[in-house]
């Protein structure tokens, strides 16, 4: 049996309330934590990558014990130090790739910190993600080697059919993921085909210009990323909540909706926005709520993910796979997700045409008609 978490549902709910306070969607007076309850809240914040928002919230509160404030401050400063180390490493990477005339785009981590938090220290990130074009991979690897980076894995097979290669620099333990796609082909979300390079924007850290995805693509990417990981971290939902809370007026929502329809991810965006609303109290524009949030079929999924988050009981692999089927808009995508990703323990690997018979039979044996029904009607 796995060890019990160091925090409870009440601790997670208290952390969410503090994040609402940081967002301005809940008054400070609505947060009540006794002296003995802060340790669990801190453990929850560390586990969910929310030390930054916790630090911002308690800095404006006068009822927090001094020892708690000091502990949170220490954890926050440790996060800030690592973030500065990573963005310094990123500066060197950007300079090396630009010197080779490689077009690039910084994903997630520091880009989201600057876009959604407007401060590099308030959003936890533990690695760097850079998107380039597939044809530039070999040249980029040479440039990274000159900076001391080596492949984290020697499995050359990952170079084909996936979305990124991981590099590590032993001198400072910086992990860099070099992407040529935002999602693996098996995810069925070809967002690169919608013109993300043309929609890039620039954020600045000190004197460094950092190219990143446009706001619409950033929001879609965060929604897909959270779903890939089964919403196991509140940080990803809080990122979405902050973007909607502070950048809603700058987002071209119609363009976002059009892109979602093109790549088949309206359901995933709807679920993530609902989770941000339920957990963090944000309010998207009325027009968006009317178009994305009016479909009541998402309610059950949102409630299921919310329960998994609050109870700290992540869904198992089979349940996540069944939910993943429902989260895809198109019938063909749902069928392929079901056919490829539903776990079928004990099934022998079959090659040749026989696999197209043996695999569905095994799925029917394990899941009955549920997997096929979900693939056909999406619920």
DSSP symbols for 1-48: -PPPPSS-HHHHHHHHHHHHHHHTSS-GGG----GGGHHHHHHHHHHH
Of 311, 346, 364, the domain-final residue = 311
Lowest average pLDDT, out of 9-18, 156-165, 298-307, goes to 156-165
Residue 234 lies in a domain: yes
Number of domains in the chain: 2
pLDDT band at 1 (very low <50, low <70, confident <90, very high): very low
Task: Return the pLDDT at 156.
Answer: 53
My answer on whether 98 and 139 are in the same domain is yes
Residue 199 forms part of a structural domain: yes
Domain end point (choices 280, 311, 342)? 311
Q: Are residues 225 and 372 in the same domain?
A: no
Given a cut of 90, whether residue 360 has pLDDT beyond it is no
Q: How confident is the model at residue 356 (pLDDT cuts 50, 70, 90)?
A: low
For residue 325, tell me if it sits in a domain: no
Indicate whether 359 and 285 sit together in one domain. Answer: no
**Residue 336 domain boundaries:** 331-377
Residue 322 inside a domain? The answer is no
DSSP secondary structure letter of residue 120: T
Residues 360 and 215 in one domain: no
Give buried/exposed letters for 36-61 (b at 16+ CB in 10 A, else e): ebbebbbbbbbbbbbbbbbbbbbeee
Residue recorded with tokens 């308030």: 122
Domain shared by 247 and 368, yes or no: no
Q: Is the domain of 43 the same as that of 92?
A: yes
The torsion angle over the Cα atoms of residues 109, 112, 113 and 116, rounded to 10 degrees, is -160
pLDDT at 155: 65
The verdict on residue 1 lying in a domain is no
**1-40-121 Cα angle (round to 5):** 110
Same domain, 48 and 191: yes
Taking Cα atoms as reference points, which of 162, 167, 157, 159 lies closest to residue 129?
A: 167
Buried b (16+ CB within 10 A) or exposed e, 120-133: bbbbbbebbbbbbe
pLDDT score for 2: 46
> Between 358 and 106, where is the model more confident?
106
72 and 192 share a domain?
yes
Q: Are residues 165 and 109 in the same domain?
A: yes
- Indicate whether 190 and 142 sit together in one domain: yes
* 246 vs 155, residue with greater confidence: 246
In a domain, 4, yes or no: no
Residues 73 and 204 in one domain: yes
Confirm whether 90 is domain-assigned. Answer: yes
Q: Which of left, alpha, beta for 275 (phi over 0: left; psi -120 to 50: alpha)?
A: alpha
Are residues 173 and 50 both part of a single domain? Answer: yes
CATH number assigned to the domain comprising residue 57: 3.30.460.40
Spatial contact of 259 and 220, defined as CB atoms under 8 Å apart:
yes
Q: Is residue 319 in a domain?
A: no
What is the rounded distance in angstroms from the CA atom of residue 284 to the CA atom of residue 302? 17
Could you give the angle at the alpha carbon of 123 between the alpha carbons of 121 and 127, nearest 5°? Answer: 95
Percent of the chain with pLDDT over 90: 55
**Domain end (from 277, 311, 345):** 311
Report the distance separating Cα 227 and Cα 188, nearest Å. Answer: 13
Residue-level pLDDT at 189: 87
> In whole angstroms, what is the distance from residue 58 CA to residue 369 CA?
51
């Amino acid at each position: 049996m796995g060890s019990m978490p160091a925090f409870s549902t009440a601790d997670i709910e208290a952390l969410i309330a503090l994040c609402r306070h940081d967002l301005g969607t809940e008054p400070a007076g609505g947060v009540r934590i006794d002296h003995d309850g802060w340790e669990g809240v801190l453990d929850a914040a560390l586990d969910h990558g929310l030390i930054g928002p916790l630090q911002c919230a308690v800095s404006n509160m006068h009822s927090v014990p001094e020892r708690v404030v000091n502990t949170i401050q220490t954890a926050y400063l440790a996060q800030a130090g690592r973030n500065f180390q990573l963005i310094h490493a990123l500066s060197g990477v950007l300079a090396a790739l630009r010197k080779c005339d490689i077009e690039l785009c910084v994903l997630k981590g520091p880009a989201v910190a600057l876009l959604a938090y407007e401060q590099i220290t308030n959003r936890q990130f533990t690695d760097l993600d850079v998107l380039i074009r597939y044809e530039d991979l070999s040249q980029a690897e040479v440039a990274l080697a000159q900076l001391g980076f080596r492949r984290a894995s020697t499995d050359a097979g990952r170079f084909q059919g996936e979305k990124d290669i991981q590099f590590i620099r032993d001198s400072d333990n910086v992990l860099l993921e070099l992407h040529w796609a935002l999602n693996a082909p098996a995810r069925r979300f070809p967002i690169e085909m919608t013109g993300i390079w043309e929609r890039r924007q620039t954020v600045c850290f000190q004197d460094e210009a950092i190219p990143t995805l446009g706001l619409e693509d950033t929001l879609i990417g965060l929604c897909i990323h959270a779903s890939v990981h089964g919403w196991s971290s509140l940080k990803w939902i809080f990122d979405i909540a902050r973007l909607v809370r502070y950048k809603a007026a700058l987002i071209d929502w119609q363009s976002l909706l059009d892109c979602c329809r093109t790549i088949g991810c309206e359901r995933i965006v709807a679920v993530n926005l609902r989770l941000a609303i339920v957990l963090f109290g944000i309010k998207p524009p009325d027009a968006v709520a009317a178009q994305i949030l009016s479909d009541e079929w998402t309610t059950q999924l949102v409630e299921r993910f919310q329960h998994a988050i609050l109870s700290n009981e992540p869904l198992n692999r089979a349940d996540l796979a069944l939910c993943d089927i429902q989260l895809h808009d198109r019938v063909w995508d749902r069928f392929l997700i079901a056919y490829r990703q539903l776990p079928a323990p004990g099934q022998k690997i079959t090659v040749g045409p026989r696999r197209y018979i043996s695999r569905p039979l095994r799925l029917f044996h394990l899941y009955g008609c549920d997997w096929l029904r979900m693939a056909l009607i999406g619920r």
